[in-house]
Amino acid sequence: MGDSLGGEVTNFKRNRLGLGEEGEPKAEYLTIYLDDQMFGIPVLKVQDVLRDIKFTKVPLAPVEVSGALNLRGRIVTAVNVRQRLGLPPYDGEKKSLSVVVEHENELYSLVIDSVGDVISIENRDIGASPPTLDKLWKDIADGVYCMEDKLMLVLDVSRLLESVH
């Protein structure tokens, strides 16, 4: 079972849908990293962040499925996002993290490299993903948010999970 970082996330959630100064609706994203690329997951979708997780392997499962784990009595299916995105396995010395999300009443944990901050951005600032983006990525990206020094790909969690078969 993982060491829960849930507290922090819950705090973030508290400010969810906070209104911007001009009254523009804002959405909050938890930033995560995969192979140095920043992604954003809508914070409202995030249930928990876990680390040091032991999975039970699920034989015959799709390759992206790392296994299943027990999160406070609920069974969570772990999906390796790197695998899904066609990235090489994570070889970092730090242990990988898991972001638990809820999708159609089921819990899934997305295995990623690391998590960053929660950022609050205005929905209209999210642009369409470039058409030249790798198809695997384009399928699960909900747009791109341009930050000063880097780009954040907004992850469409539902599409990501639905594409695992």
Partner 1 sequence: MDDLVVEFIAETNESLGLIDNDLIALEQNPNDKGIIGNLFRLVHTIKGTCGFLGLGRLEKLAHHGENVMGRFRDGDLEVKEDYVTLILESVDQIKYIIGELETTGVEPEGGDAELIERLDAVYEGRDGDNGGAETPENNADGELSKEPNPSNEGGLSDYDLAMLQAAFESVPSDDEAVVVVDEKEEKPASPPAVVDSTEKKVTAAPSSIAVQSLRVNVDVLENLMTMVSELVLTRNQLLQILRHTKDSDFDGPLQRLNHVVSDLQEGVMKTRMQPVGNAWAKLPRIIRDITVELGKKIDLQMDGQDTELDRQVLDLIKDPLTHMVRNSADHGIEMPDERLAAGKSESGTILLNAFHEGGHIIMQIKDDGKGLNTARIREKALENGIATEDELAAMTPKQINQFIFAAGFSTAAAVTSVSGRGVGMDVVRTNIEKIGGTIDLDSIEGEGTTVSIKIPLTLAIVSALIVESSKERFAIPQLAVQELVMASAGGVNKIEMIKGSPVYRLRDHLLPLVYLDDLLKIKLNTPTQESHDMEIPEPNNDNRYIVVIQVGGYRFGILVDKVYDTEEIVVKPVASILKHIELFSGNTILGDGTVIMILDPSGIARLTGDSPMAEETEKSKETRKNKDLKKTSLILFSSLDGSPKAVPLQLVSRLEDVDTSKIEYSNGKMMIQYRDSLMPLIKFDSSMEVSNEGRQPTLVFSDGRRSMGLMVGEISDILEDYINVEINSDDELSLGNAIIDGKATEVINVGYYLGQAYSDWFANHGSEDFADDAIDMDSQKRILIVDDSPFFRNMLAPILGVTGYSVEMAENPIEAMAFLEKGEMFDVIITDIEMPEMNGFDFAENIQQSKWADIPMIALTSHVTDKDIERGKSLGFHDHIAKFDREILLNALTDTIRNAKKLEDKAVAEGI
Which residues bind to partner 1, rule: CB under 8 A?
1, 54, 56-62, 65, 67-70, 73, 75, 77, 79, 104, 106, 108, 161, 164-165
Question: Which residues, other chains included, contact 149 with Cβ-Cβ below 8 Å and sequence gap of 6+?
Answer: none
Q: Closer to partner 1 at the Cβ: 120 or 163?
A: 163
Question: What's the CA angle centered on 115, arms 109 and 6, to 5 degrees?
Answer: 60
Closest contact distance (angstroms) between CB of 3 and partner 1 is 14
* CA dist., res. 13 & res. 94, Å (int): 26
Nearer to partner 1, 14 or 165 (CB): 165
Cα(73)–Cα(36) distance, rounded to whole angstroms?
A: 33
The angle subtended at Cα 34 by Cα 53 and Cα 54, nearest 5°, is 10
Closest contact distance (angstroms) between CB of 56 and partner 1 is 4
Nearer to partner 1, 5 or 68 (CB): 68
In the complex, minimum distance from the CB of residue 107 to partner 1, in angstroms, rounded to a whole number: 8
